[in-house]
Structures are given as structure tokens and as C-alpha cells.
């Protein structure tokens, strides 16, 4: 340790300096409080040993001013005129110890040695915590692969800002967990984290969920409703499956992001917003933009900081880490093992459902293990002819929602053609209202003459 001794009794400082240096410490000596303060202001020290009564600045004042300069500085008070009151006050002011004269030098040497060991141990613990944080810094997000380390580095950097983030990744890669990790490390962590899945809510109800409504905004709106965007005030709003948002809703969301304010449906009051927006998509939004299915201006508004989550098949070396993580979660107090050949089979499998599929596989294997110690391969890896050993899912596969929308669009076009583009008759044939038919024609870009 770097030690500064401040005492006007030269005999004490001479012998104490020699013994501390023999113990391996670097020691500087001064005989006045003024000089001690000047030294502390000009160079760093780990420990200050100071007398109370000495020329210039007194020891108690030196203690307070030294701690103001460096609150981590260890201060040991030595005095020949000690009282209980002065000792208590010194400890309140931040002194580590209070020693009365005369004392044996070895008493102070042992004390500083112990403090040095404690400091070294704390530094080692901090280094270990940092190393663990590098490997898995975000609760349930586990991974040591370079691909995941890049994700962790981006999360750490962007968490300190309020920039919009677009998370891109296949189903099951952990997009919402990533969004929560950003929120939990951000200055907004004390605020709410509000999430919505655009794919899980019918398009006719999505705007109401997002923006809320005023009483009487439409038939059945008996009470005021606060939308999810507004509920995220002071925190983070997470839009999952943003690629499933209808184009007309995208226009309204864009205005919210640009102006940082909204109006509830049926309302006239403008509500200022203090939110951070994170969106997630399972598809290439640029391709959706080219197809006219996603607004280009909204895409660039959301894609300020992109985070690409790699699929599990591209995370070399992460699978055994994830398996151990899930075993710790699901096995409770029991210890399970996986044979090396079964782990190899798991690493050879493509995991089209990514981490979510792996999690369910481990949970299933534990639940079906009975009293066995080794988990069975049949419970861990799908051995059907379709999925055995790693066929990758084609990226061009349409979602069920896309298939249904395409079928609906074609059927509406067919009925309109059969009725000679007579909307009222087409609506009757389809079993929907004319207003509903008009909305669907607008949604699918179907053009046609009027009644």
C-alpha cells in the first residue's frame, strides 16, 4: 500500500516508516498537517496515518478533508490525548481505526497488512465478477460464443442511451429477454416495462390496445381506457412482431415516435410521452419495405440501433452452457447428467425453435426422467424423420397469419368479381358489413368501383 504518515514526533515517524517499508509498503512522511494536505492533493495514497495534534491543519480536520478528496482512502488516527468522544467523532468522519499513544509499531503494521489483504481480495472479487459478467451478464441470457458476446457488448452500450432499438431474430432466440435486459440496465429501470405482440392481437383491436380510448369513442366504449404506450410512461415500451402491424397503424405509430405524444381514440387532448421504444421482428423488415408491407420511414425511425440475435445453430459452444443453465432451473435439488454421445446428438441438431425449443426439451427430459440419473436422448432431441439431426427450417416459410390473410384477400377478390364489383352484394355474400368490406379492401390494397 502507499502510506502517508503525518506526525510531528520524528522518532515515531522514523521507526514506523522503517517497519512499514520492511513489510513491503511504500511510505511518505510529513511533520505538519498543511504539508500532508498538500501531498494528498497532489498524489494518490491508499492509507493515511495521522496524529491529531500537530502544526498546521489538525488531524481531525485533515481526516475530513482527506476523505473529501478520496472517500476510499483508509485513515488511521493516532493520538496521545484521546477521549471516547473524539474517537467516536473520528469514526463518524470516516476513520478506519483510532489508536492511542504510546503504541507498538507492529500494531499499526499488522493493521495495514490486514487492510492491504482485504483490498487485494476485494479487487480479485471484482475482477471475478467482471469476468462472470462478460460470460453471462444478463440473468437468463446465457452464452460465451463470440456472436453472443457481440450482443452483450451492444446491449451494454445502448442501455445507457434512449435510442430506439430494433431486435432482429428468429422465433425463440430471446428477443423479449433482450429487450428486458436493455431496460433493466438503463436509467429507466425503475419505470415500467410494457410489452405488446402485434401478432397476438387482431388488427381491428390493435390500435385500441396501443393508444387507448376515451369514454364514448365508439359503441361499447363505456369507460376511458389507457393504452399500453401511455402505460409505459417513464419506462420502456416493447413492440414484438412489429412486422405484423397493419400499415394504417404504422402511420399512427410513426407520428407518436416523431412527436413523442399521442391522442387516445376519440380524444382531443394531446398527451406528452416519456418512453423508450424497443421493437422486435422475426423477418427481414427491409424486404417488407420493398414489398410495400412496411413503411420505410417507420423502419428507419425504429432501426436506430439494430441488434441481431443469432440462431442457436450458429452459437458454437453455447449449447452445453444453456443445458446446464436449464438443468439448474428445472432439476431443483436433483443432479442429472447427459451422456457425451447424447450431447453430441443435441449439438448436431439444428434446433429450429432455437433456445425456447431447447428449454422445453430439457424441461421435458427432466419431467420424464423418473429416478434415472441420465436424461434420455429421445426426450432431449426430436427423432422424427422430419427433424432428425438437423434439417434447417426454410426461411421462406409463411406464418399462419400470412397464409390466412392471403386466402382472405383472394376470396374477397373472387367474390367482388362474381358480383361485378358491387360492394353491397359482395359484403352480403361474404357475411360482413359494407364498412368491414371497405376496411379489408383498404388493408389488402384491393381496388374497385363503388356501389
pLDDT value of residue 420: 86
CATH of the domain at 419: 1.10.10.60
CA distance 421 to 451: 8
What is the span of the domain harbouring residue 223?
146-308
CA angle 51, 57, 61 (to 5 degrees): 75
This prediction has a pTM of 0.57
CA distance 360 to 357: 5
Q: 357 and 428 share a domain? A: no
Q: Which helix (H) or strand (E) holds 137?
A: none
CA-based nearest residue to 309, from 438, 182, 160: 182
Q: 297 and 325 share a domain? A: no
Q: 408 and 273 share a domain? A: no
pLDDT value of residue 221: 79
Number of domains in the chain: 4
Residue 411 has pLDDT above 70, yes or no: yes
Residue 449 has pLDDT above 70, yes or no: no
State phi, psi for 4 to the nearest 5 degrees. Answer: -110, 120
Q: 224 and 176 share a domain? A: yes
Q: pLDDT averaged over the chain?
A: 88
> Where does the pLDDT of residue 131 fall: very low under 50, low under 70, confident under 90, or very high at 90 and above?
low
> Where does the pLDDT of residue 6 fall: very low under 50, low under 70, confident under 90, or very high at 90 and above?
very high
CA-based nearest residue to 327, from 379, 395, 375: 375
> Where does the pLDDT of residue 130 fall: very low under 50, low under 70, confident under 90, or very high at 90 and above?
low
In this prediction, residues 53-71 reach a mean pLDDT of 91
Q: 217 and 248 share a domain? A: yes
Q: Is residue 139 part of a domain?
A: no
Collapsing DSSP states into helix, strand and coil, what is residue 194? strand
In this prediction, residues 274-282 reach a mean pLDDT of 96
Least confident segment among 173-187, 223-237, 368-382: 368-382
Q: 150 and 228 share a domain? A: yes
pLDDT value of residue 371: 85
CATH of the domain at 338: 1.10.8.60
Kindly report, residue by residue over 84-124, the tens digit of the pLDDT. Answer: 788 888 888 999 999 988 889 999 999 999 888 888 877 77
Q: 292 and 232 share a domain? A: yes
Q: Is residue 270 part of a domain?
A: yes
CA distance 15 to 255: 75
Q: Is residue 132 part of a domain?
A: no
240 neighbors 195 (Cβ within 8 angstroms): yes
Q: 86 and 45 share a domain? A: yes
Q: 424 and 329 share a domain? A: no
Kindly report, residue by residue over 149-206, the tens digit of the pLDDT. Answer: 999 999 999 999 999 999 999 999 999 999 999 999 999 999 999 999 999 998 888 9
b/e burial code for range 383-403 (CB count within 10 A of at least 16 → b)? eeeebeeeeeeeeeeeeeeee
Amino acid at each position: 500500500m502507499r502510506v502517508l504518515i503525518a506526525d510531528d514526533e520524528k522518532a515515531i515517524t522514523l521507526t514506523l516508516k522503517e517497519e512499514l517499508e520492511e513489510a513491503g509498503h511504500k511510505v511518505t512522511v510529513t511533520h505538519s498537517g498543511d504539508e500532508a494536505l498538500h501531498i494528498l492533493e497532489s498524489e494518490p495514497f491508499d492509507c493515511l496515518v495521522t496524529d491529531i495534534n500537530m502544526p498546521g491543519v489538525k488531524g481531525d480536520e485533515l481526516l475530513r478533508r482527506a476523505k473529501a478528496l478520496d472517500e476510499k482512502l483508509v485513515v488511521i488516527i493516532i493520538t496521545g490525548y484521546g477521549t471516547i468522544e473524539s474517537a467516536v467523532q473520528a469514526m463518524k468522519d470516516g476513520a478506519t481505526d483510532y489508536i492511542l499513544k504510546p503504541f507498538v509499531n507492529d500494531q499499526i503494521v499488522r493493521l495495514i497488512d490486514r487492510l492491504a489483504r482485504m483490498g487485494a481480495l476485494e479487487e480479485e472479487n471484482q475482477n471475478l465478477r467482471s469476468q462472470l459478467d462478460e460470460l453471462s451478464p444478463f440473468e437468463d441470457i446465457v452464452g460465451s460464443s463470440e456472436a453472443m458476446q457481440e450482443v452483450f457488448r451492444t446491449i451494454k452500450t445502448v442501455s445507457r442511451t434512449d435510442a430506439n432499438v430494433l431486435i432482429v431474430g428468429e422465433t425463440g432466440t430471446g428477443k423479449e429477454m433482450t429487450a428486458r435486459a436493455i431496460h433493466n440496465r438503463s436509467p429507466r429501470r425503475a419505470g415500467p416495462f410494457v410489452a405488446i405482440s402485434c401478432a397476438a392481437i387482431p388488427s381491428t383491436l390493435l390500435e385500441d390496445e396501443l393508444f387507448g380510448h376515451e369514454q364514448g369513442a365508439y359503441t361499447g366504449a363505456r369507460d376511458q381506457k389507457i393504452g399500453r404506450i401511455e402505460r409505459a410512461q417513464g419506462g420502456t415500451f416493447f413492440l414484438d412482431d412489429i412486422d405484423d402491424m397493419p400499415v394504417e397503424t404504422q402511420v399512427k405509430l410513426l407520428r407518436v415516435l416523431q412527436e413523442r405524444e399521442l391522442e387516445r381514440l376519440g380524444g382531443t387532448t394531446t398527451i406528452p410521452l416519456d418512453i423508450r421504444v424497443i421493437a422486435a421482428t422475426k423477418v427481414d423488415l427491409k424486404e417488407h419495405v420493398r414489398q410495400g408491407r412496411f413503411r420505410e420511414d417507420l423502419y428507419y425511425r425504429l432501426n436506430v440501433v439494430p441488434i441481431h440475435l443469432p440462431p442457436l445453430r450458429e452459437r458454437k459452444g453455447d449449447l452445453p452452457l444453456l443445458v446446464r443453465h436449464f438443468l439448474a432451473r428445472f432439476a431443483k435439488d436433483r443432479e442429472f447428467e447427459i451422456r457425451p454421445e447424447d450431447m453430441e446428438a443435441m449439438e448436431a441438431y439444428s434446433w429450429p425453435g432455437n433456445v425456447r425449443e431447447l428449454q422445453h426439451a430439457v424441461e421435458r427430459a427432466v419431467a420424464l426422467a423418473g429416478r434415472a440419473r441420465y436424461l434420455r436422448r429421445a426426450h432431449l432431441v426430436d427423432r422424427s424423420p422430419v427433424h432428425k439431426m438437423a434439417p434447417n427450417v426454410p426461411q421462406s416459410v409463411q406464418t399462419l397469419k400470412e397464409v390466412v390473410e392471403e386466402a382472405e384477400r383472394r376470396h374477397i377478390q373472387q367474390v367482388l368479381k362474381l358480383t361485378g364489383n358491387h360492394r353491397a352484394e359482395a359484403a352480403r355474400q361474404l357475411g360482413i358489413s359494407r364498412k368491414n368490406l371497405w376496411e379489408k379492401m383498404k388493408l389488402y390494397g384491393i381496388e374497385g368501383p363503388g356501389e
